[in-house]
Amino acid sequence: MTNITFIGAGSVVFATNLLTDIYSFERLQDSTITLMDIDPDRVERTAEVGEAVVDHHELPGEIRTTTDRREALEGADYVLNMINVGGEEPFENEIRIPEDYGVKQAVGDTLGPGGVFRALRTAPTVLDIARDMEELCPDALLLNYTNPMAMLCWAVDEATDVDVVGLCHSVQHTTEALARYLDVSSDDLEHWVAGINHMAWYLELEHDGEDCYPALREAASDPDIYEQDPVRFDVMDHFGAFITESSHHLSEYLPYFRTDDALIEELTPDEDFGHYTIEWMPTGRYLEHWRSYQPALEDEFEVTEDDVALDRSADYGSRIIHSIETDEPRRMNLNVRNDTDAIANLPDDACVEVPCLIDGRGVRSCSVGTLPPQLASLNRSNIAVQDRAVDAILERDETALRQAVKLDPLTAAALDLETIDEMIDDLLAANAEYLPDLY
């Protein structure tokens, strides 16, 4: 029997997807899944779905709930972290205050002023979870889903002895997008991807043993395809490789795309492409999207047939647990510390996203070697921000915080140094109740 703990299980849709993924494996169907959240009403909603899954399929597993984090962690084998610290108010401040100064973030949860301040308010709780794990389940693996991925995993690696890996969906989603552009099945694409979270590079992309890059460049010359992913196609054209994450996210990690309203408008198509509508480039669009899917507790809630179906998603979490428990080998891209020199020309202590082998021995990163220098340089521009932000978190160092934001490529392209300090002053004041004291 495997003991799996979800921290932040009040995120009903995400948590239940992970839960059904786990129970979709016969070997994991006797697992005890403990759902923990500070909001008892939300966690009970997740539990209602989980119990319906267990009952419907007559599984030997068990669903438990608690609002006590230490109780949830006691004896866990795996801890899945999906917390959101602070909720809507600080998130809105992290978008709108920089926007007032001219820093126009699309999402603001990974880099930039939004990402740095999100890390500052989220990391203390994540570190508390890790320190509780050191005491209560020291051999457990921490699977982190919370953004900013690289900064949080880096801080846990630096400050605790907990084994942590970061999980993202960008490689899976990007591979599906590439398959559409190439008009092939995503199952038939072979890839070798490495870099950092939300900025990892398709170093190799093949179909039936053939290099896909010539066909991808030809596809990008079709305006109907190009306008579905303009930023990523431009970066590929200028730097030589396609990148994970979407055009809207990528646009805010670089200095080239979000300092001019006309360019933002140009890169914001509103055409319905059949399978989805692109609405992402406007500043703060993700904030509005995030608000739209937060369930209201007063709404009617009923478990449906779809909710209890054991359809396995593309998420890596259940597969990691299954591979470790059964010794079935798998390879997938995960976020891990670079201290094995997985990427030789990125810093050893950075959090990198690289192919990893998972089996009964755990998670082991593959050796990628050296990235092409132009790709490593773009990665290092983001790692520099992460490095200073982690120092700000661990040392409670306001100078490091200010330097992290000043090193951000988009912020530096939009503002002078004195104005950046003014923006940081406003962010510190607006979100003071959500932030640790800085010395």
**What residues act catalytically?**
169
Which tokens belong to 174?
């990007």
Helix (H) or strand (E) holding 199: strand 199-207
Candidates 365, 361, 320; CA nearest to 346 is 365
Which tokens belong to 321?
């647990």
C-alpha dist (Å) from residue 12 to 149, 336, 394:
21, 27, 31
Asked whether the beta carbons of 163 and 76 are under 8 A apart, the reply is no
Candidates 382, 88, 346; CA nearest to 250 is 382
Q: Cα(398)–Cα(416) distance, rounded to whole angstroms?
A: 19
Find tokens 């953004």 and name the residue. 147
10 Å CB burial of residue 81 (0-12, 13-18, 19+) is buried
Candidates 29, 74, 67, 69; CA nearest to 46 is 67
Candidates 169, 191, 168; CA nearest to 179 is 191
**Amino acid identity at 270:** D
Beta bridge partners of 165: 143
**Amino acid identity at 385:** V
Asked whether the beta carbons of 406 and 412 are under 8 A apart, the reply is yes
3-state secondary structure of 188: helix
